[in-house]
Structure 1
Amino acid sequence: MKEIIMTTMTASIAGFTFEDILLNAAGVYCQTTEELDQILTAPGAGSLVTKSATPAERAGNPGVRYADMPLGSINSMGLPNLSLDYYLDYAIAHQDEKPLFLSIAGLTKADNLQMLHEIQDSDFNGLVELNLSCPNVPGKPQTGYDFDTTRQILEETFAFFKKPLGVKLPPYFDIAHFDMIAAVLNDFPLAFVNTINSIGNGLMVDPETDTAMIAPKGGFGGLGGAIAKPTALANVRGLRQRLNAGIKVIGTGGVQNGRDVYDLVLCGADLVSVGTTLHQEGPEVFNRLKAELAEQMKLKGYDDVNQFRSALQTLN
């Protein structure tokens, strides 16, 4: 195992201090308490996020719903989870060990408001992630692409919700859309945004069988891993430039090595979450990434991530 070079890799969100900046991406190693325990205790992981929950247990999409592919992965999981109560109980039991993120993803606005009321009335005192960006539920569009609906949900949420709240966002592909979503988000006391969720509705073919690589939705699924890195960097950068300073950014997408973590921080990420590579390697990946990030920082003459966060230079 590579030696960890002495560096400072801390961040803060809504008064919570993270001793390391890495965590899992929602959906990976967070379905069961056994998986969550592995992330909670993994060296190099500063936090964890629970599986995005619905009010009741949900099986998700049938058939082959995840596949590794060149440059990453494709999936159409369909929000399999063990219910809000399952993850809320876990989060309350472990919230004094590390700052935790409790993720929810209702299939309707009513679902989300119901779950937020339950969390508000509970003993949970961590951070809540409202997932507005699941691309893999058949017949359900991504809320994060509907700016008016996003505003309506946040207005109704902040009428009663007083705990630290952030949103998980889909990738945006137009500069005007960065402006439009930031104009909505800046009107609310959000603690953070998490960007990006997988790039929705890609399609990959298995060359051996001439079939789609996954079964749900005729083979359409979210793209993650290396293929997502340029889009993730653009979204982290684009949102960091537009959001109020108090809204922190969690960068997600394309992390394979320490340089990838470095680049997300350089573009403005406070924390960095890992999905496909965590799925492929397991929780040991956090210590590897931390060591590689430390090496990259040493090469650049940094000993604290705050020295280069949001410091991307442009050619003009």
Structure 2
Amino acid sequence: MTEFIGFIGDIKFHPPIMNASGVLCTTEEDLQAVLESRAGACVTKTMTLEPREGNPKPRCFWTQDFSVNSMGIPNKGVEYYVEAARRLKKYQKPMIASMAGLQKEEYFLLSEKLEKSDFHAIEVNLSCPNLEGKEIFAYDFQLAKEVLYQLRKRISKPMGVKLPPYSSRYHIQEIAKILLEVSVDFVSLSNSFPLGTAILSEKEETAILPNGGIGGLGGKAFRPIVLGQILLFQRHFKGQIPIIGVGGIEKGVHLYEHLLAGASLFQIGTALLREGPFLFQKILEEANHIFQQKGLSSYRDKCGKVKAPSPKDQKE
């Protein structure tokens, strides 16, 4: 069998596959369902200091090809998840707390509560695209740097960052420099593309209500963008920061694509929303079949090993 164990610092993920924050993670029962599945870890809903109802419904729409959502960070507040983690630690699987502040000071208050909790790692969400009138933190490099430096001083647990997609190589270069300087322990790539929509032609209306029908695009249609993000970031990281690939993984072959691009851990979002926690077992079986076909002793042998095609004569 191919070794399929991932690491963030000293934390072992066996297997290195889990839910993405936002799917099957809002309640303690959701997290329990993930922990009782073949997933190797769970990630909470992005939590804030106080509970939030989120944006008005309809705020999420999905098909076989994509999802669009403008949830507005509905969650039960940090105290709820701290208590849930205390009870869920019995499963002896890593639990990652996803957190976001509506103001930068809230990140610091959240970090104090989570530092003392039973969570094994903290994912700092700098990428929420669905708060009306709010800019995405990770697009303001100076602000992102300031927040991360302050959090690094406060957090001794493994600390990672969830980023939005970037459309400029220069922007990727600049934020990668910051992440290396701060010495984050992992990076999740990536949150949904922030300016998507779905239009229901028969009704002649958008599929979701908030933000004028605009939301984050995820799922299968988003996968090529995520693979590009992973590929570019891993060239800057050079193996120094583990990448969690999150975007469009529905089958084992999609996990393998993320692996080749440079991800060593994997999160499932839209497909999990459609198919439920049994999907972890299906993806694992398919991925292991690929690993065995390739004759791998460890899946890490293929991490970041995607190659350029051979040049060929092009006939006009």
TM-score normalised by structure 1 residue count: 0.94
Q: Deviations over 1:197-227 (max 9, x none)?
A: 0011211111211110111111100011001
Question: Which of residues 8, 22, 38 is equivalent to 1:13?
Answer: 8
Q: Are 1:103 and 1:130, in contact at CA under 8 Å, matched by a contact in 2?
A: yes
Equivalent residues in 2 for 1:19-38, closer than 5 Å: 19-38=14-33
Task: Give, in whole Å, the separation in 1 of the partners of 2:69 and 2:86.
Answer: 30
d(CA) in 2 for partners of 1:193, 1:42: 24
Structure-2 separation of matches of 1:182 and 1:266: 19
Letter of the structure 1 residue corresponding to residue 104 of structure 2: K
Among 229, 233, 257, the alignment partner of 2:227 is 233
Gaps of 5+ in 1: 1-5
1: CA distance, partners of 2:100 / 2:233: 22
SS in 2 for 1:223: strand
- 2:299 corresponds, among 286, 289, 305, to 305
Identical amino acids, percent of aligned pairs: 34
CA RMSD of aligned residues (A): 1.4
Match of 2:73 in 1: 79
Q: Provide TM-score, normalisation by structure 2.
A: 0.94
Question: Where does residue 248 of structure 2 map in the other structure?
Answer: 254
Instruction: Assess, with a 3 A threshold, how the Cα gap between structure 1 residues 159 and 298 changes in structure 2: closer, same or farther.
Output: closer
Residue aligning to 2:259: 265
Is the 1:13–1:192 contact (alpha carbons within 8 Å) kept by the matching residues of 2?
A: yes
Runs of 4+ residues over 6 Å off in structure 1: none
* Counterpart-to-counterpart distance in 2, 1:160 and 1:115: 10
What per-residue deviation string (whole Å, max 9, x for no partner) do you get for residues 147-206 of structure 1?
111001012222332221010000111111111111111101211000100011211111
Say whether residues 1:93 and 2:87 are aligned partners: yes
Query: What residue number does 1:177 align with?
Result: 171
Which residue type is aligned with residue 180 of structure 2? N
Asked if the contact 1:186–1:244 (Cα under 8 Å) also holds between the matched residues in 2, the reply is no
Structure 1 counterpart of 2:51, from 57, 77, 89:
57
**Which letter does structure 1 place at the counterpart of 2:166?**
Y
Distance in 1 (alpha carbons) for counterparts of 2:154 and 2:20: 27
Measured in 1, the distance between the counterparts of 2:24 and 2:171 equals 31
Q: Say if 1:76 and 1:214, in contact at 8 Å, map to a contact too.
A: yes
Name the amino acid aligned to 1:36.
Answer: L
Aligned to 1:282: 276
Q: Which deviates more from structure 2 when the two are superposed, residues 304-313 or residues 219-228?
A: 304-313
Check the 8 A contact 2:85/2:117 in 1, yes or no: no
In the alignment, is the contact (CA less than 8 A) between 1:74 and 1:222 conserved in 2? yes
Q: Is the 8 A contact 1:227 1:254 kept in 2?
A: yes
- Asked whether the 8 Å contact 1:195–1:236 carries over to 2, the reply is yes
| Alpha-carbon offset, residue 92 of structure 1 | 3.2
Is 1:114 the counterpart of 2:136 in the alignment? no
